Amino acid sequence: MIGGNNTRIFICTVDTDMRKSFDSLRGIIRGAMHLDPLSGSLFVFKNKRGDRIKCVYWDETGFAMWYKVLQRGTFQFPNLENYSSAGLEIDASTMRLILDGIDLSSIRRRPRFRPPSLNGRTHIPPEVPLSLLPGFSQDSSPDHDTP
C-alpha cells in the first residue's frame, strides 16, 4: 500500500472524470472534499462505471499519482449515495478489499477491541497501562471477542 500504516485514505464520493490530472484533482480535494492535499493522505477517485481509479498523494517532494484500469469487471466501493460529504475516510484494509475485487456488501467484520483514541489514529505505546487511558474502564474491556 502507498504510504505507511498511519496514512489516512479518503474516497471522493462523487464520480470523477479520469482525464483530470494533478491540478484539477487538487481542486476537488480542496473545494469539494474540504481537505488539504498536502497532508500526506491518499485521495482515491473513481469514474462513473467503477472500472478506473486514481489515487493522488503528496510524498514530501511532490504530488504522485497511481492509476488503475480494470480490463474486466468493476471495483466495489462502499455505498456512497447517503453521504453528504464529498469525502469518505476508509481504512487500509477496506482499500485492500476494493483493490482485490471483494464485494464489500458481503463482508462482515468481527468485533475487535480498540482502545479509545482521537480519530482512531493515536498510537498507544505498549508500556502504557490501558487503565490510565481516558474513558477506559475494566468493565468495558472484553477479555475475549464475542461472536
Residue-wise pLDDT tens digits, 33-54: 999 999 999 999 999 999 999 9
Q: Is 82 part of any domain?
A: yes
Q: Is 139 part of any domain?
A: no
For 100-112, the pLDDT digits (tens) are 888 777 777 778 7
Q: Is 53 part of any domain?
A: yes
Q: Is 122 part of any domain?
A: no
Cell of 59: 510524498
pLDDT: which is higher, 74 or 146: 74
Q: Is the pLDDT of residue 14 over 60?
A: yes
Strand-strand pairing, 9-12 and 87-90: antiparallel
Strand ranges inside 1-147, DSSP E: 9-12, 42-46, 52-58, 63-69, 87-90
What confidence category does residue 60 fall into, taking pLDDT thresholds of 50, 70 and 90?
Answer: confident
d(CA 25, CA 80): 19
Domain that holds residue 84: 9-106
* pLDDT for the residue numbered 137: 46
Q: Is 74 part of any domain?
A: yes
Q: Is 143 part of any domain?
A: no
Note whether 11 and 87 are within 8 A (CB).
yes
d(CA 42, CA 8): 6
Q: Is 133 part of any domain?
A: no
Q: Is 123 part of any domain?
A: no
* pLDDT for the residue numbered 10: 93
pTM: 0.69
Indicate the number of domains in the chain.
Answer: 1
pLDDT: which is higher, 91 or 116: 91
Which amino acid appears at position 93 of this protein? S
Note whether 40 and 57 are within 8 A (CB).
yes
What confidence category does residue 28 fall into, taking pLDDT thresholds of 50, 70 and 90?
Answer: very high
